[in-house]
Structure 1
């Protein structure tokens, strides 16, 4: 992702400076305290900020809640989950706009907001056991040993495949494949001047994190591990795909054109797309994205030669926090518990399955596929979402580290910096960050 310069840094500093002492969601009895409005019998109005388009599930969720809870009405505010959108959310919180609940889509963003004091500590609330409800993978979302949000979804990342194109090329649907094998698939599936493989920018760097989540972002001596050989392999291989093989879009072209990668895949223009489960909100929408091919699914290819040394991004996601400055924390908490325990089921139509053990998973699965089930290779879909036993990680690398490495690898992909300089600069800047932030 691209950093938005001095403004993003300024907002982060202002957020930190704006922390108010005593901003906690907990009361002495282990429950959020009743707001003055609720105590007085008035209707409480909440605003929930999230990155999913309202028509892809959120509006139906809120309609269900609002119908049954006239005393607490929730409004949805959409922000796009990119640098600009996250800056919009942070600015809204900092300037005191109405933000009662907000969805974090990475642990990096959540940690940044916790550090800035804008996420209420939910560990003080004892009437809902997040560990018990969500299972052992919830541990990945604890920040300094505490929950500042509830991870609400089963999160999957995968490569979506045009099954008809695979069949025509006599290629099987992979269940475990390497980066080199994916590159060969891209060559065989490429048609004319088109691409064989394309990526959504959100999981663009997941191959790097799949290595460093396993090996460590720092070495035994505490210095940067961004010069890991597999980091270099990813950079050089992807550069070959962009420049030599012409099997994937050059990064510069993708960023400047805001390339509609989902549309390009669903139109049949590109046969492989690296993305997450949110693809289903578009692939189920035949009105805006008509298609005449079946979609299959494969795990994200691994850089490591040995599968035992590989991790994949996934587990739990959609970490929903309560604004520490909200005047309606109890009402927000009541809504959040309902949402997590199955109220969010309409979100499954967009690929977001509820994580809570108390949610109706059968109903969620039915909602996810709707009447389009026969347009998917369901065996491979179930595999990547439920049966793939590869260990998962949640991206926890600090946002500052994500920014510095993206700034350097963009120079490489844009031909303004060679690979050796890129590796050296990433390590140098990471080490400088580590010296200034030894706890990281």
Structure 2
């Protein structure tokens, strides 16, 4: 009897140990570890980004997961707007499942650094960001530190209808001014287009920042430099194209109609568009945007006459940070290095070109153009992506200044104040802001 009781007790203990072992085998927290059947541990990472999964991110993580069973990555999409960034910031601050996240502006990055959620990558010594990404990477440094890694080459350019360009007898520019672009727009409109040039409202203001990055947003005496002569030139040139030449849409019409400028270019209503590498995602979509013309590319024009004084919008983007509170920082770092040095290649089909020099340029272009390479002027594309050595900038001024300027120059383009009044108002409001934020 004693033996029977002893065996019964032993069996119960074994059963209890088995249950306890099963209960302790997994962790569901961010960056937690799941224990496999044979005791091996699998690290789970979660990466947040704004690109739809079907435009590359899902293929990226699927490739990584197949090659790295010990570290599995899940991609979570957030929309890159105020609500979407608030969702990410809330997840970061409340300890939700975020191990890596993409910053799309310096303003958002700075806020996350101050919130203690972006890791200083200086604790890793096996990867030189400056050497891999080039001098443009330094734009993302804060207090001389990298709180993440820029992974994407921002490429802004003019895309042109090459068939129309050839018909009008116009050479493909490799360096030009806004005065010349205005002339091109007029001559191309004469070929039967509704507009010579269309552009997103975000691109519209790039020439203003281009001038101020070079000449300074603030003068030596600490006052606003928004009365730089090139600002007036930008206002009057663009307004002349809207009102006098009718070669680009009036801003009021564009704002009220939410004009689909990419559709207008691809649909043959405009001969040129001021845009970036994301155009290729749409121009390769021959189902929704069928076209028969070849697309050529030119650098964005400059306001200044002297080419040596030109700094263009561009630089590097898709700045990926590691959550400083992640439980698996080393695993996140290994994934980030892999992603930057070629793992992100599937993103090229959606227009996101790797910035790392570890990635072959021709491989990137091949993925970018896909099955429609013969519908592009490849030589001009290679030039604007890799051959144009014009210095670049990433807009880093306070959002309050960006909003203030827009309020004033919109009044001018809508006809409610003159260029002189616009400049005076911008300077006055900028000086007030400078005084309040000394």
Bin of the TM-score, shorter chain as denominator length: 0.7 to 0.9
Larger CA Rg, structure 1 vs 2: 2
Following the alignment from structure 1 to structure 2, what is the Cα–Cα distance between the partners of residues 92 and 227? 42
User: CA RMSD, aligned part only?
Assistant: 2.5
Residue deviations 1:97-132 (CA, integer Å, cap 9, x gap): 544322223334433443444322222322322122
Question: In structure 1, the residue corresponding to 2:145 is in which secondary structure?
Answer: coil
Corresponding residue number in structure 1 for 2:103: 104
Which shows bigger deviation, 93-102 or 301-310? 93-102
Question: 2:32 aligned with 1:37, yes or no?
Answer: yes
Corresponding residue number in structure 2 for 1:68: 67
Residue deviations 1:197-237 (CA, integer Å, cap 9, x gap): 11123322111111111111111112111111111111122
Corresponding residue number in structure 1 for 2:163: 164
- 1:326 deviates by 4.0
Question: 2:423 aligned with 1:428, yes or no?
Answer: no
- 1:261 deviates by 1.5
Following the alignment from structure 1 to structure 2, what is the Cα–Cα distance between the partners of residues 362 and 332? 28
Change (3 A) 1:408 1:356: same
Correspondences of 1:77-96 after superposition (within 5 Å): 77-82=76-81, 85-87=84-86, 89-90=88-89, 92-93=91-92
Whether contact under 8 Å (1:234, 1:303) holds in the other structure is yes
Corresponding residue number in structure 2 for 1:127: 126
Corresponding residue number in structure 1 for 2:149: 150
Question: In structure 1, the residue corresponding to 2:220 is in which secondary structure?
Answer: coil
Corresponding residue number in structure 2 for 1:209: 209
Question: In structure 2, the residue corresponding to 1:203 is in which secondary structure?
Answer: helix
Question: In structure 1, the residue corresponding to 2:431 is in which secondary structure?
Answer: helix
- 1:255 deviates by 2.7
- 1:347 deviates by 1.6
- 1:289 deviates by 2.1
Whether contact under 8 Å (1:158, 1:300) holds in the other structure is yes
Whether contact under 8 Å (2:178, 2:302) holds in the other structure is yes
Following the alignment from structure 2 to structure 1, what is the Cα–Cα distance between the partners of residues 109 and 333? 17
Residue deviations 1:43-74 (CA, integer Å, cap 9, x gap): 54433333333332222112211222334333
- 1:39 deviates by 8.6
Corresponding residue number in structure 2 for 1:11: none
Change (3 A) 1:319 1:84: same
Which shows bigger deviation, 243-252 or 166-175? 243-252
Corresponding residue number in structure 2 for 1:369: 369
- 1:142 deviates by 0.7
Corresponding residue number in structure 2 for 1:260: 260
Corresponding residue number in structure 2 for 1:389: 389
Which shows bigger deviation, 329-338 or 150-159? 329-338
Correspondences of 1:19-38 after superposition (within 5 Å): 37-38=32-33
- 1:410 deviates by 2.0
Corresponding residue number in structure 2 for 1:136: 135
Whether contact under 8 Å (2:102, 2:319) holds in the other structure is yes
Following the alignment from structure 2 to structure 1, what is the Cα–Cα distance between the partners of residues 403 and 180? 29
Question: In structure 2, the residue corresponding to 1:224 is in which secondary structure?
Answer: coil
Whether contact under 8 Å (2:148, 2:319) holds in the other structure is yes
Question: 2:46 aligned with 1:47, yes or no?
Answer: yes
Following the alignment from structure 2 to structure 1, what is the Cα–Cα distance between the partners of residues 397 and 235? 19
Question: In structure 2, the residue corresponding to 1:415 is in which secondary structure?
Answer: coil
Give ranges in structure 1 of 5+ residues lacking alignment. Answer: 1-33
Following the alignment from structure 1 to structure 2, what is the Cα–Cα distance between the partners of residues 332 and 353? 21
- 1:160 deviates by 0.6
Change (3 A) 1:75 1:246: farther
Question: In structure 1, the residue corresponding to 2:245 is in which secondary structure?
Answer: coil
Correspondences of 1:323-334 after superposition (within 5 Å): 323-334=323-334
Question: In structure 1, the residue corresponding to 2:201 is in which secondary structure?
Answer: coil
Whether contact under 8 Å (2:31, 2:97) holds in the other structure is no
Following the alignment from structure 1 to structure 2, what is the Cα–Cα distance between the partners of residues 419 and 91? 42
Structure with greater contact order relative to length (CA < 8 Å, sep ≥ 6): 1
Following the alignment from structure 2 to structure 1, what is the Cα–Cα distance between the partners of residues 421 and 93? 38
Residue deviations 1:127-151 (CA, integer Å, cap 9, x gap): 3221222222222221111111101
Which shows bigger deviation, 143-152 or 43-52? 43-52
Corresponding residue number in structure 2 for 1:9: none
Corresponding residue number in structure 1 for 2:399: 399
Change (3 A) 1:301 1:112: farther
Which shows bigger deviation, 258-267 or 269-278? 258-267
* TM-score under structure 2 length normalisation: 0.84
Following the alignment from structure 1 to structure 2, what is the Cα–Cα distance between the partners of residues 416 and 102? 43
Following the alignment from structure 1 to structure 2, what is the Cα–Cα distance between the partners of residues 272 and 81? 27
Corresponding residue number in structure 1 for 2:189: 190
